[in-house]
Amino acid sequence: MNAMDVAKQLICAGQAKNVKITNLKLQKLLHFANLTYISIVGKPLFSEKVKAWELGPVVPSVYHHFKSFGNGIITIECTEDAIIPDYILTSVCDFVIDVFGVQPVSTLVDMTHRDPVYEDAKKEDKPMCYTQKTAKEVLNREITNILQRAAYASLSEKLNPSDHPDYPEYIDDFEGVPEEERSKIWGIKD
């Protein structure tokens, strides 16, 4: 399979789920699709080499194909010809869009920069190469980070201390604690 076919599949999956994909985001999604496939099947999803560029992993041929979009949203016509009828590929692309496609591109860039394989490839100017084990480790770490951020965000939305029935009592428990420390403990933002 080639990376352009995977890119088109990702774009179509994104369009179907109302996920906006720029060229930068597409490069990160290709990277995570490749990692997902490697972690399941044990070999790369596509034959092209993934390079470690300044903003993270890039498949140069796909980047150059879509660079006319600049930093705008990539749109393509998602006809039957654009979509490969492959269950594993479809499942991988849907998973990547659901988990990584909804993340801000800056978060995806940060994720790829934490990857030791990226750091080594960038330092040595070599293509990025993963074993099944390293692909699983990177995916597990990043999915765990996504879930933790989502859980904390959900929890902080639900826990508003002023809604607590004993809120005034709790404030008295902090007698002598500086106001800025009380705010940190309660998560109150000015």
pLDDT of residue 190: 47
Tell me what the pLDDT averaged over the chain comes to: 84
Whether the predicted pLDDT of 184 surpasses 90: no
> What's the pTM?
0.78
Tell me the residue type at 40: I
Whether the predicted pLDDT of 49 surpasses 70: yes
Counted residue by residue, the chain has a size of 190
Percent of the chain at pLDDT exceeding 90:
60
Residue pLDDT, tens place only, 126-172: 899 998 999 999 999 999 988 888 887 777 666 665 555 555 554 45
